[in-house]
A = this chain, B = another copy of it.
Amino acid sequence: MIDAAAAIFFEHGFERASLSAIVRRSGGSLSTLYQLFGSKEGLFEAMVTQRCAQIMEPLTTPHQPGQDPRETLVRIARGLMGVLMDPEAQGLWRMVMGEGIKFPRLPEIYFRCGPDPLQTAMVRYLSDLHDRGIVHCPDVPSVVQAFCGMMQSDLFYRTVTGMRPIPEAAETERHVQKVVDLVMGMLTRR
């Protein structure tokens, strides 16, 4: 039933999504829906909570400090790119941005599941590299911020708004390489 809710909510938005449509798709009954979630908002929150954890899960994998830094960054960037270009994750993003003011718990859940773990893991990883003298980076948080910001470029915004289709793998890979190049420049320069 949460799957059906996700599909309908992500496609139409909160207000336009009708509970009858969700029930029709999920196969359950309206009564059970109210039994389980209490209200439309309850179902919405439960769905977002579940999907946040599920969609963002690839972003929480820790990084082994022994590997080549560039390869590690590329791996992280590819994982992030995969999430950014996932149609369901894009629906979730639109929900968080569009309904976040009406539902303050949405941004909380989103940041706690996605950006926060990714950024703390990256800060830990890069700080470790810096401490061991492998890279020189006096301001790790800023570099991590820069990395995340650069990943979410026009490519992402134009896709999430439907202005262009999901890009080919080659195009996302080019973007990954470009961002990692720029970040590596920030790490090795003096």
A residues apposed to B, CB below 8 Å: 11-13, 15-16, 93-102, 104, 106-108, 110-111, 115, 119, 139, 142, 145-146, 148-154, 157-158, 160-163, 178-179, 182, 185-186, 189
| Pair A96/B161 contact, Cβ less than 8 Å | yes
What is the CA–CA distance of A39 and B139 in the complex, to the nearest angstrom? Answer: 52
Contacts of A186 in B (CB 8 A): 182, 185
Contacts of A160 in B (CB 8 A): 97, 100
On whether A97 and B107 interact (CB within 8 A), knowing A142-B178, A142-B182, A146-B150, the answer reads no
Give which listed residue, B13, B96, B139, B154, contacts A145 with CB less than 8 A. Answer: B154
On whether A94 and B104 interact (CB within 8 A), knowing A146-B182, A153-B149, the answer reads no
10 A-B pairs closest in CB distance: A98-B98, A15-B15, A107-B161, A100-B161, A97-B97, A149-B149, A149-B150, A107-B163, A149-B153, A145-B153
Q: A11-B101, A185-B185 are in contact. List 13 more A-B contacts (CB 8 A).
A: A13-B98, A13-B101, A13-B102, A93-B97, A94-B98, A94-B101, A104-B162, A119-B154, A145-B154, A146-B150, A146-B153, A149-B152, A150-B150
- Judged by DSSP, the binding face of A is helix
Contacts of A152 in B (CB 8 A): 149, 152
| Pair B161/A153 contact, Cβ less than 8 Å | no
A164 CB to closest chain B CB, in angstroms? 10
What is the CA–CA distance of A119 and B97 in the complex, to the nearest angstrom? Answer: 23
Contacts of A93 in B (CB 8 A): 97
